[in-house]
Amino acid sequence: MKLSTAELEIMEQIWRLDGPVTAAALSGALQDKGWKPTTLLTFLARMVQKGALSAQRQGKQNFYSARITSEEYRAGEAREMLSKFYSGSVKSMVAALYQDKALSASELDELHRWLEER
């Protein structure tokens, strides 16, 4: 499942709020975006269609819940990026980050410790 940048921002709020949430609650949490209520409802409907959210009708409101965890989504995105840009090779990805000086010595040490623990 691929989420747009805006959809991911909505998911981040749903994960942060940790539970069924209404569009009104999300609208408040995302008020800095300046989205109209109909825009948010369109995003939510798309996300339900994609399988990222479930919607439960209670009275006049829908309550939205995440169908995947943040960790599951991020793992899928990482696998896709690894496959798309590095032919599935973690070594090639780390080498590219190292060559571009995107990894500091302490990050490399941390990565090394993490790999040894596994």
Tens digits of residue pLDDT in 49-84: 999 999 999 999 999 999 999 999 999 999 999 999
> Given this model, what pLDDT does residue 4 score?
95
* 17 and 62 inside one domain: yes
Share of the chain above pLDDT 90, in %: 70
Separation of alpha carbons 117 and 38, rounded Å: 48
**Count of domains observed in the chain:** 2
Separation of alpha carbons 110 and 99, rounded Å: 17
> Given this model, what pLDDT does residue 39 score?
95
Burial (CB < 10 A; 0-12, 13-18, 19+), residue 52, is buried
* 105 and 60 inside one domain: no
pTM for the whole structure: 0.80
pLDDT(10) > 90: yes
In a domain? residue 78: no
Three-class secondary structure of residue 62 per DSSP: strand
| CB-CB contact of 82 with 88 (8 Å) | yes
